[in-house]
């Protein structure tokens, strides 16, 4: 018995040693892969070169210029929308009136038909014609002829009115299509304006207070440089300093708005955009003019700059995206851009496209 126990114990120890020494387990233990070495971090991209303040000024100026162009597009679409809405209302009233007229003509025609039915199929007056009395015949023959003409005129009037209604309905449909197209243009222009203004404000907000002050000085210096160069051409020599009575009223209105903020699309009385100011000023003088700077440039009479006088409008930039009113002595009043107020400035402080005269 003791010997058997000793044998069993010996077998157990041998098996254990065999398992521990097994190459398969040794291989299995060593087969676990080691963690790969960490990949080297990608080098950080080089920081973009910092813009100079002058570059920032030009970028901000460009964004506001683009916003001004989009504002003109918005204002034009809004003006056309108002006109088309008014035209649709006018046509709708004419359609209602035309339908009422058709109803009245139908009632009149129905009354004539009922009278003819009562007379055995003969129209009113025919009974008087079919008489043995020669005098009565002669007296009523004219009445019958007049009745026939009235019936013919009635039918012609109904046909004419129905044709007019068809035209009115077609015109109303055309104006509705234009109205919807202009609403789409308005929405696109509004988004463009808001995007450009937001981008410009973001650029300004990233500047330190001292840099913003320097930015304003750079802006003023650029305007002064342009104004000085313009005056040095001798352009003011011989210019009239006298406004007409209407021009004087327009100048008085425009200068009375100095200090009020620029707001795109605004026409007063609390705020203005550039063409809203000039339109209201000349409206106060009794002369209605178009809404946008581009339309004011396109539709108002142009004058040579050497003939300019107070009250005339100076249009700026090649796309006519800005406008101000000349007030004399080389100065003009205008609503500059978002973040600025209506102010006096040098008439030559920006690129001049030309001059128009509302009178």
State in Å, rounded, how far the first CA of the chain is from the last one: 137
Number of Cβ within 10 Å of residue 54's Cβ equals 12
Q: Which residues contact 132 (CB under 8 A, 6 or more apart)?
A: none
Identify the helix (H) or strand (E) that includes residue 343. Answer: strand 343-346
Number of Cβ within 10 Å of residue 124's Cβ equals 17
269 SS3 class:
coil
Cα gap 320→324, rounded to integer Å: 11
DSSP-assigned letter for residue 121: T
Out of 186, 322, 325, 356, the active site residue is 322
Out of 172, 250, 274, 350, the active site residue is 274
Number of Cβ within 10 Å of residue 10's Cβ equals 10
Out of 57, 190, 334, 337, the active site residue is 334
Residue with tokens 């500059």: 336
Q: By the 8 A CB rule, do 115 and 70 touch?
A: no
Q: Which two tokens stand for residue 213?
A: 């002050």
* Nearest one of 285, 252, 254, 257 to 271, comparing CA atoms: 257
Any catalytic annotation for residue 274?
yes
DSSP string, 202-249: HHHHTS-HHHHHHHHHHHHHHHHHHHHHHHTTTTTTT------HHHHH
Any catalytic annotation for residue 219?
no
Any catalytic annotation for residue 334?
yes
Active site residues: 274, 322, 334
């Amino acid at each position: 018995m003791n010997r058997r126990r000793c044998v069993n114990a010996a077998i157990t120890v041998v098996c254990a040693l065999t398992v521990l020494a097994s190459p398969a387990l040794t291989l299995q233990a060593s087969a676990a892969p080691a963690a790969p070495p960490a990949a080297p971090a990608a080098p950080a991209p080089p920081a973009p070169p910092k813009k100079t303040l002058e570059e920032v000024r030009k970028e901000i100026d460009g964004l506001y210029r683009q916003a001004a162009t989009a504002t003109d597009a918005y204002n034009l679409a809004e003006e056309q929308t108002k006109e088309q809405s008014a035209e649709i209302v006018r046509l709708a009233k004419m359609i209602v009136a035309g339908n009422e007229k058709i109803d009245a003509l139908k009632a009149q025609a129905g009354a004539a038909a009922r009278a003819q039915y009562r007379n055995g199929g003969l129209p009113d007056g025919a009974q008087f014609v079919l008489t043995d009395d020669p005098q009565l015949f002669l007296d009523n023959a004219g009445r019958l002829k007049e009745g026939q003409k009235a019936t013919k005129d009635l039918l012609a009037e109904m046909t004419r009115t129905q044709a007019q209604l068809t035209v009115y309905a077609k015109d109303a449909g055309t104006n509705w299509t234009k109205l919807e197209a202009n609403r789409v243009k308005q929405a696109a222009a509004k988004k463009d304006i808001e995007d450009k203004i937001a981008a410009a404000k973001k650029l300004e907000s990233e500047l330190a207070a001292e840099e913003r002050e320097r930015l304003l000085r750079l802006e003023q210096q650029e305007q002064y440089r342009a104004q000085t160069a313009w005056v040095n051409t001798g352009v003011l020599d011989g210019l009239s300093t006298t406004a007409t009575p209407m021009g004087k009223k327009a100048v008085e209105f425009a200068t009375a708005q100095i200090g009020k903020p620029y707001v795109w699309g605004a026409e007063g009385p609390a705020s203005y955009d550039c063409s809203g100011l000039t339109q209201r000023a000349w409206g106060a003088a009794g002369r209605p003019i178009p809404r946008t700077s581009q339309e004011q440039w396109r539709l108002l009479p142009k004058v040579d700059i050497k003939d300019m006088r107070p009250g005339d409008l100076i249009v700026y930039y090649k796309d006519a995206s800005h406008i101000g009113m000349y007030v004399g002595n080389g100065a003009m009043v205008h609503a500059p851009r978002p973040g600025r107020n209506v102010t006096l400035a040098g008439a030559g402080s920006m690129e001049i496209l030309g001059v128009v005269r509302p009178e």
